[in-house]
Structure 1
């Protein structure tokens, strides 16, 4: 389950990987040139996406490695499960906001003061709506709108793990951490309707439990009001 969640996040975080997986899911297999032609992607982008997906065990080469022409690719069993996870997620109505527009502005202030440049973004996710705050405008520029929506909906809507990666020693909510290309994303369920996604630099060295605890303390009044 954890591997599927990680792979789904990896697919969702790139529109090229997402498009290639969508094509392979619909057609069963594909040649790089045909994928490029039928999706409108440049072939170098397709080739790179296939290479990245193959490295992650999401895509496999269906012909012998020695075959130089007609190199046919398809999704692995893991790839099929991961792409299905992405495809089934209902995309949320997403709004990028400044700190004042975030549902819990005190959380933004606390995380930025505590973690500084290590913090990349914060997402407050409800069943049909999400608010995202980026710590720097340049970070927002790394994502197109569709990719951002797909990443947030995929990571926020994943079902709970049977064996969570970590649990707060105080008996707090389960959290899940997944590594993407440029970031570590921690998902913290606050209640039945609200999940937080906290994106930090991959070099983040602080204990994740401390990050989770900070989120819980800073949002306690907000989530209590939401429950009421």
Structure 2
């Protein structure tokens, strides 16, 4: 990959096509493969796979491993740049597994109680994300009725999987919380430990000091976990 290219633009380009993602994932896992092998393994039509390979070659993340003149056994693999970029976007191919459940432990229960006490009727939902599953541990019935399962899945993907606190980089600083404000509501995201995040949604009618609230969420989790 040409280092003059903006890495974020390359990631965005790859992520915008499921075929590019499928090809990149398969080559990362298998090492090398022909277009036919990829097509059969990922269940995408051969023309889509061939086009994705050409596009990824142009971006410098995939290379042909045999002479260009060869017409059969055309094996492709990832370049060093492809090996480097894949781990940063692999989460985009994951299915979103989510469920609505009661808090499973004291730490999660403590977060729900804190959110209800702090936000009152403005609280919309409290969710736990542990890098494997998303668990909705509190959801206002009116809010839940506003979303279909497909819409809820898309919201979870946008908030938790496609947008990660770990991707935010500031020299000598660690990002462990952030607030995303929408038209009618906001979402506070707090990382309480490695691979464990809470996100708390509330209407914008509530006036709350978010840095202090984020600190309280982290403290409540750590105290209940100790």
Which residue of structure 1 lines up, in the alignment, with residue 204 of structure 2? 202
SS at match of 2:215: helix
Picking from 189, 192, 197, the partner of 1:190 is 192
Which residue of structure 1 lines up, in the alignment, with residue 57 of structure 2? none
Picking from 179, 182, 197, the partner of 2:181 is 179
CA drift at 1:218: 1.5
Residue by residue over 1:59-115, the C-alpha shift from the partner in whole angstroms, topping out at 9 and shown as x without a partner, is xxxxxxxxxxxxxxxxxxxxxxxxxx8x92623310112456896112111211222
Q: Which region of structure 1 is more displaced relative to structure 2, 87-96 or 175-184?
A: 87-96
Give distance in 1, aligned partners of 2:179 and 2:144.
21
Q: 1:90 and 2:80 equivalent? A: no
Gapped regions of structure 1 (runs ≥ 5): 5-23, 27-84, 165-170
Picking from 207, 210, 219, the partner of 1:217 is 219
Which residue of structure 2 lines up, in the alignment, with residue 107 of structure 1? 111
Distance 1:144 1:115, change over 3 A: same
Picking from 123, 135, 138, the partner of 1:134 is 138
SS at match of 2:112: helix
Gapped regions of structure 2 (runs ≥ 5): 1-7, 9-15, 19-88
Residue by residue over 1:145-198, the C-alpha shift from the partner in whole angstroms, topping out at 9 and shown as x without a partner, is 12212222332232432259xxxxxx9853111123431011111121101111
- RMSD between aligned alpha carbons? 3.5
Using the size of structure 2 for normalisation, the TM-score is 0.51
SS at match of 1:143: coil
Q: For this pair of structures, how many residues does the alignment match? A: 141
1:15-94 matched pairs, under 5 angstroms: 88=92, 90-94=94-98
CA contact (8 A) 1:191 1:223 kept: no
